[in-house]
Structure 1
Amino acid sequence: MKILMVSIPTLHFFRWADQLKYAGHEVFWFDITGMSAPVEKLNWVEQKVNWKLKYNYPGRIFLKKRFPKVYNFIQKFNEKNTASEFENYLNKVKPDVVHSFAIYLSCAPILEVMTKYNQKWIYSSWGSDLYYFQNKSQYLNDIKRVLPRINYLFTDCNRDYIIAKKHGFSGDFLGVFPGGGGFNLQHVKSFCLPIEKRKTILIKGFQGRSGRAITVLKAINNLQKQLQAYKIIVFGAPNEVFQFVQNSALKDWENLEVLGRINHEKVLEIMGEALVYVGNSNSDGMPNTLLEAIIMGAFPIQSNPGNATSELITHNKNGLLINNCENEVEIEALITSVLRNTDLLEEAYQFNQNNLKPNLDREVIKRKVLEKYASIGKQ
């Protein structure tokens, strides 16, 4: 089967696409940004990349950084039309199915083309793709235009299947799968410390449209004495988080380390050393870092926007759910309670390792995903 994938260049997409390697399909990738160089991780895929610019003139990057208004004006005349470029590539490839990742990124820009052709179309929802953007009128309009045209749907949580049906999807639901596929459990095994040797509290440092790491930092600010025996690591932090720490009493904590962006391997490494993991946001699907915490044995404390997280985490059983992502008092209480409850830490560890982790194995997920693609090919 010929599969034409449409996506921005991201780790989640690369990991998902990798499931199709050696599966007997011809796989093509249309980089919807049109600005990416060929990706080595996808060297087995035919890639339509770096197509956007009509002319990559000298000094373009300098102009973009120093004079963005001038740059944006020039780009109106210097960029090729996404829909036209996609249509040309679609006619060249003649795929059996097109697979788009995220509505506003990879579906809406090509909708007019997909409406023109009787072409099977898969859509994968990611994170906030439906849950957050349905509350924005411009994006909701795109959601309602796209979903009736979609033939097949993958989601990372059941919540988003319900939202999709609400806004016009009536095709075949292919199931709930992690946005980047499963995890190589054998590879990460060496990173996992026994629970009794773990003395790290790990905090996802995202702050912005959806991330609410600063609320977590406000919560631990009142727990210096209780947290003295632990190493606290904040990862993926933007400048806003670094500045918050520098302007608070946290800057004097010797056991606190704030990291910017780190690679995926490093995330898994520190997850395997963590006793507790805290992830907090106002919008998400099934967070990939939550899944990583589960497979690496860290006790998850996670926000629950739209009840997506509660599809996997039962409060006070295999983790704790944050009801209000803006409430540092609630988060402070949750962290305090779990550190006092060694029985809960142990029971959650055993439950997640025995019941959830095996289902997140890369080969298990891959086999199921390939069965779904095969079912499309038979129709």
Structure 2
Amino acid sequence: MKILLVSMNSIHFVRWAHQLENSGHEVYWFDVLDGGKAENLPWVYQITGWKQKYPNLKGRHFIKKRLPFFYKRISFLIENDVVKTFKKTIENIKPDIVHSFVLYISCAPILEVMKTYNKIPWIYSSWGSDLFYFRNLPKYKEDILKVLPRIDYLITDCMRDINIANELGFKGNVLGTFPGGGGFNYDETNRYIKPVEERKTILIKGYQGRSGRSIQVLKAIQSLTEELKEFTVVVFGADIEVANYVIKKKLSNKLSIKVLYRKDFLPHHEILELMGEALIYIGNSNSDGMPNTLLEAIAQGAFPIQSNPGGASAEVITHNKNGLLIENCEDINEINRHIVSALSRMDLIKNAFKLNQISVKPIFERQLIKEQVLDAYNKVSKS
């Protein structure tokens, strides 16, 4: 079977694609943003380098960066059209399945082509904020309402988004709910897991920007000098405004705190090592699907305190049992209470560790997810 994947080049996409290696299928990838070859996918037929009519044109990057509106007006002169290019790709490959990842990036740009080739089954993978957040923005909602009726099969990273898709016009079949990048290989990460008694780190995901709310977490811990005196607070993946907040409020004078900048790109195995030595992991945002970092933190034995946009996190966390849920990501007092509660209930943390290792972690094991994913593709081919 020929499977044509349509996506930008991202770590989650690459991990997902790896599930198809040695599956017996011919796998093609149309790099919809033409961001460059995926070196980790040498066995995939990659359609890249298609966008620029004149790849060596001098001054293009300068104009695009300094005069974006002007560049947009003249782009048709120097860039190939995605619709025409994708149509040629369909004609050349004649895929049995097209699978797009993220609606506004990989579905909306090729919708007109997929309407023409309406006999080709079209799978759409919804990740993160794809439906939950962008349905509230008129421009993006317009695309959602156009795309979903043409989609034949849906894959989500949380159950919440199935209901949203149905409400917004999806009439096809649901293939399953899987982590965005597939499952997790615990053989490589179990060695980083420390016993609960040896954990002296409070780990905070440092995203801010559009949806991250880590500054609210930092505000919540400012008054916890006494409770956190034996711990090191580590903020990883920190956006610049988060780092600036730490400096401005002189948090290092009150707490033992370490900020790891997002722009410095911490290797993935080092993040997992941090999770394996963290007593508590805190992730806070106003919008997400099923966060991969949450699942990784759970797998590495950290006690999760996680925001719960639209009820997604509640699909893996039972409040006061295997973690704590932040229902209002803006509520500093709520976040503060959860942290104090966790620190004062070591029995809760120990019981959550056991429950997550025995009952939650195995559900997301890579080989198990891979078998389910391959079964989903086979269902499409047989329909």
Q: TM-score range, shorter-chain basis?
A: over 0.9
Partner of 2:2: 2
The residue type paired with residue 173 of structure 2 is D
The residue type paired with residue 169 of structure 2 is G
**CA RMSD, 1 decimal:** 1.3
The residue type paired with residue 272 of structure 2 is L
The residue type paired with residue 113 of structure 1 is V
Is 1:30–2:23 an aligned residue pair? Answer: no
| CA distance in 2: counterparts of 1:160 and 1:67, whole angstroms | 37
| CA distance in 2: counterparts of 1:71 and 1:104, whole angstroms | 21
1:92–1:175 Cα change, 3 Å:
same
Task: Report the CA distance between 1:329 and its aligned residue.
Answer: 1.0
Residue 184 of structure 2: SS of its match in structure 1? Answer: coil
The residue type paired with residue 215 of structure 1 is Q
Q: Tell me which moved more, 278-287 or 260-269.
A: 260-269
| CA distance in 1: counterparts of 2:322 and 2:188, whole angstroms | 24
Residue 235 of structure 1: SS of its match in structure 2? Answer: strand
| CA distance in 2: counterparts of 1:286 and 1:340, whole angstroms | 28
Partner of 2:46: 47
Partner of 1:322: 326
The residue type paired with residue 288 of structure 1 is N
Task: Report the CA distance between 1:370 and its aligned residue.
Answer: 0.6
Given the alignment, which residue of 284, 308, 314 partners 2:312? Answer: 308
| CA distance in 2: counterparts of 1:119 and 1:150, whole angstroms | 10
Task: Report the CA distance between 1:180 and its aligned residue.
Answer: 0.6
TM-score between both structures, scaled by the size of structure 1: 0.97
The residue type paired with residue 229 of structure 1 is E
Is 1:362–2:361 an aligned residue pair? Answer: no
Is 1:211–2:212 an aligned residue pair? Answer: yes
Q: Tell me which moved more, 239-248 or 261-270.
A: 261-270
Residue 344 of structure 1: SS of its match in structure 2? Answer: helix
Task: Report the CA distance between 1:170 and its aligned residue.
Answer: 1.2
Task: Report the CA distance between 1:365 and its aligned residue.
Answer: 0.5
Q: Tell me which moved more, 337-346 or 138-147.
A: 138-147
Partner of 1:15: 15
Within a 5 Å distance, the mapping from 1:212-361 to structure 2 comes to 212-253=213-254, 255-261=256-262, 262-361=266-365
The residue type paired with residue 50 of structure 1 is G
Task: Report the CA distance between 1:69 and its aligned residue.
Answer: 4.4
Residue 173 of structure 1: SS of its match in structure 2? Answer: strand
Is 1:199–2:200 an aligned residue pair? Answer: yes
Point out where structure 1 has 5 or more consecutive residues left out of the alignment: none
Residue 42 of structure 1: SS of its match in structure 2? Answer: coil
| CA distance in 2: counterparts of 1:152 and 1:305, whole angstroms | 24
Task: Report the CA distance between 1:251 and its aligned residue.
Answer: 3.8
Within a 5 Å distance, the mapping from 1:29-178 to structure 2 comes to 29-34=29-34, 36-56=35-55, 57-117=57-117, 118-178=119-179
Alpha carbons 2:208, 2:215 under 8 Å: kept: yes
| CA distance in 2: counterparts of 1:73 and 1:273, whole angstroms | 51
Task: Report the CA distance between 1:70 and its aligned residue.
Answer: 4.4
| CA distance in 1: counterparts of 2:72 and 2:173, whole angstroms | 40
Alpha carbons 1:338, 1:345 under 8 Å: kept: yes
| CA distance in 2: counterparts of 1:89 and 1:23, whole angstroms | 22
Q: Tell me which moved more, 76-85 or 327-336.
A: 76-85
- Calculate percent identity across the aligned residue pairs: 54
| CA distance in 2: counterparts of 1:18 and 1:122, whole angstroms | 17
Task: Report the CA distance between 1:144 and its aligned residue.
Answer: 1.1
Residue 222 of structure 1: SS of its match in structure 2? Answer: coil
Task: Report the CA distance between 1:348 and its aligned residue.
Answer: 0.5
Residue 238 of structure 2: SS of its match in structure 1? Answer: coil
Q: Deviations over 1:193-251 (max 9, x none)?
A: 11111111100000011110110011111112211110111011111111111111314
Alpha carbons 1:31, 1:48 under 8 Å: kept: yes
Q: Deviations over 1:35-78 (max 9, x none)?
A: x2211111110101121111231233344444444444443432
| CA distance in 1: counterparts of 2:245 and 2:160, whole angstroms | 33
Residue 40 of structure 2: SS of its match in structure 1? Answer: helix
Alpha carbons 1:221, 1:249 under 8 Å: kept: no
The residue type paired with residue 368 of structure 1 is Q
Partner of 1:185: 186
Task: Report the CA distance between 1:98 and its aligned residue.
Answer: 0.1
| CA distance in 2: counterparts of 1:137 and 1:91, whole angstroms | 33
Alpha carbons 1:192, 1:297 under 8 Å: kept: yes
| CA distance in 1: counterparts of 2:74 and 2:240, whole angstroms | 30
Number of equivalences: 378
| CA distance in 1: counterparts of 2:30 and 2:207, whole angstroms | 29
TM-score between both structures, scaled by the size of structure 2: 0.96
Task: Report the CA distance between 1:376 and its aligned residue.
Answer: 1.1
The residue type paired with residue 326 of structure 2 is I
Q: Tell me which moved more, 147-156 or 61-70.
A: 61-70
Residue 236 of structure 1: SS of its match in structure 2? Answer: strand
